[in-house]
Structure 1
């Protein structure tokens, strides 16, 4: 799935400009978010598509897929191998991974819409055969890339795609701290945000894809930094929050043809 994440949106459809102080996440706003994200990351692709309709976005996604398949060596990819999944730990380690990325590979990966493949496996059993760029402190997850797809071909052939088809259940709010100390001379002090995640008819596999894109792009946009606190909140569906969203993850709704859905949102500072 290709990410449609908008950071600091602007009118028309500005999330923060609703007179009640909360966003109405209607079809028009979701479409505006998705279209703006595509224009920002790949303006040349956006120029070839009609982004005023959901069908136009689907056409743009098809064109992007064709581009990636036509140039697999040049399209960067991240492979995440997951042995055990614990949401708070995974959120923290995903942020740690993104924060450690060098600038140039991160920018190239961003242009490829931070494409990530999730595989099922035990990272600690693979370290003698494969080199990972980051591993969670407890060994639960390891990351390789971003790198050309061909560099992880052997790993992807060995392991199966993670199949976590169980639908999400609600959880009590839990706060995690983004790993690392704020660098000296940081542009801002650590902040506290809510990370709201939709759970209705969303599987664990879908959560991984959707929240991963939101988190890593928020890190690259410096919305998430070391020392920040993120309160993970389960909601059936995203609606207008009391605190406006700074970033919103929008993608196709697999159960409703030609419609978009908000999967996760990162609020402004609380």
Structure 2
């Protein structure tokens, strides 16, 4: 299995259908423009959201914390319907825990529980949006042992260069949805690997993060992919 436009298109359609079957049944999902329009509609009407407070970004810390947070949740249907909407704010969780309730705290990172977006307004008014302009640094293969009983070995392929703030958004959606889908779990060993592009990466793909190709708006491209580790690769 290789990355093709058909595979990427099918992935986006399935993601929409899983999150919002009501919209998928009545919207044109046959074109990239149609997919983008439905995704924009979901973003506009999404109510359930999570706030992530970020005191600083470290790839290993972020991946471990995100997986642990996602695994701690039980009823996630409403967040699924909001396409796992997450707001990233810059702040020090240690200075906020006496005023705000967090679902999960991991060092310099903290996540609120799922709630209507308005419920997070006091926190959003206090803190500014997290701005990570430096490029995501992936120095060779970064091996991350997710806390928990030893599990499977996975590879997270990250295509090309991107700023930290953008990478956090894509990592968040891919990791959280992978946990919900049961293809990533605490205890797994995850190797993060930078690749120029995902065209040469072969599947099967346990999870994909897909966007519109900025160089060709009528086409899709894969930003990240989760695969099983192949022995000797």
Shift of the alpha carbon at 1:237?
1.6
Q: Deviations over 1:207-242 (max 9, x none)?
A: 101111110111111111221110111112222425
Q: 2:19 aligned with 1:41, yes or no? A: yes
Find the counterpart in structure 2 of residue 101 from structure 1: 73
> SS where residue 213 of structure 1 aligns?
helix
* Alignment: residue pair count: 230
Find the counterpart in structure 1 of residue 4 from structure 2: 26
Find the counterpart in structure 2 of residue 268 from structure 1: 228
Instruction: Answer whether contact 1:41 1:110 (CA < 8 A) is retained.
Output: yes
Find the counterpart in structure 1 of residue 208 from structure 2: 248
> SS where residue 45 of structure 1 aligns?
helix
Find the counterpart in structure 2 of residue 59 from structure 1: 37
After the TM superposition, which parts of structure 1 deviate over 4 Å for at least 4 consecutive aligned residues? none
Q: Deviations over 1:4-54 (max 9, x none)?
A: xxxxxxxxxxxxxx3xxxx1x232322221112111221111122211101
Instruction: Answer whether contact 2:92 2:108 (CA < 8 A) is retained.
Output: yes
Q: Distance in 2 between matches of 1:30 and 1:242?
A: 13
Instruction: Answer whether contact 1:169 1:199 (CA < 8 A) is retained.
Output: no
Match of 2:197 among 216, 229, 237: 237
Q: TM-score, normalised by structure 2?
A: 0.91
Match of 2:96 among 105, 109, 126: 126
Q: 2:182 aligned with 1:214, yes or no? A: no
Q: TM-score, normalised by structure 1?
A: 0.79
> SS where residue 113 of structure 2 aligns?
strand
List runs of 5+ in structure 1 lacking aligned partners: 1-17, 69-74, 183-189
Match of 1:111 among 81, 105, 123: 81
Where does 1:159-198 land on structure 2 (aligned, <5 Å)? 159-181=127-149, 190-198=151-159
Q: Supply the RMSD in Å over aligned alpha carbons.
A: 1.8
Q: Distance in 2 between matches of 1:216 and 1:56?
A: 25
List runs of 5+ in structure 2 lacking aligned partners: none
